Amino acid sequence: MPDLTKKDVKHLMLFAGRSHPALAAQIASLLGTEIVPARMVTYANSEIYVRFEESVRGCDAFVLQAHTAPVNDYLMEQLVMVDALRRASARRITVVTPFYPYARQDKKHAGREPISARLVADMFRVAGATRIMTVDLHADQIQGFFDGPVDHLYGMPLLADYVHAKYSQEDLVVVSPDAGRVRTADKWSDRLGCPLAIIHKRRDPDVANTVAVHEVVGDIEGKTCLLVDDMIDTAGTICLAAEALKVKGAGKVIAATTHAVLSGPAAERLNRSAFEEVIVTNTLPIDPRVEIDKLTVLSIAPLLAKAIRAVFDDGSVAALMNEQ
């Protein structure tokens, strides 16, 4: 007689790449589990080897990787992990990528360009992923690039609750840094119950790729201006926006963004910027050598842990978002 006690017993297993061990440890703790031990090696020629040290047959696998620099190395590492799980007979494989790689390459702007965000989705699918979980995609349309479920989570509730608790709502104005982020800023405005302003950038017709004037649409005189965006990369655009707000009479300027990419001169620019505080989440690791006095980092781990638990239990991730 077969042993029916082991038939169709679901078990959750958490796997983590090498990019963000602190976030992985937080999520594991919240889930009440441990990260599956693995041997990961980068050979002298930069090829990556992965072998998991426990049986994964029939498991519900969640594969976490934060796509910080070097993005291509960590992307390949995650793909190799997914392939290893598929070949070892994992029942279901969910890619957990808090910051989706190549998300800014979501469409063609000119001929002979790739749509790299779609290519990444295709690679995950071919490797063996059955589901993707991510936070604040740069473009919503990326959800349609993957042929399977995509759990698109949002960092705004976490960030907004922090702002609500610390800053007076009477003086607060949500500001979109450009016309392209107005829809996002409008959601923030609804969440915080405060007015909305927009920065309109006019370019100098005589100098290529140069912003000549920042026009502010909305009343910001003496107000606490909250600039919102999905990411801070080199911080050039958002720091210029903060300066423009101060010139136009803002009392304080703060920023809230989900992804702290912080490339190149970002730290230097933020340290000498007009910002009073810059609030981010830990979807990406922040190099301990990067010192930004104005930076506040909130943990995205509770949100990811709840979403992972909901997927494992075949519950509603949408309902989870409505609770926030």
Q: Which of 6, 108, 166, 201 is catalytic?
A: 201
Entry field: residues in the chain: 324
Q: Which two tokens stand for residue 24?
A: 């992985």
Hey, which residues does 254 pair with through a beta bridge? 226, 277
Hey, which residues does 23 pair with through a beta bridge? none
Helices (H) and strands (E) in the chain, counts: 9, 14
Q: What sign for the dihedral angle of Cα 19, 21, 26, 28? A: positive
CA distances from 143 to 41, 83, 182 (A): 32, 22, 20
Q: Is 201 designated active site? A: yes
Whether the CB-CB separation of 311 and 151 falls below 8 Å is answered with: yes
Q: Which of 300, 231, 306, 319 is nearest to 22 (CA)?
A: 300
**Dist. CA 235–CA 269, nearest whole Å:** 7
Q: Which two tokens stand for residue 223?
A: 């107000």
Q: Hey, what amino acid is at 310?
A: A
Angle at 103 between CA 236 and CA 173, to 5 degrees: 50
- Catalytic annotation, residues: 201
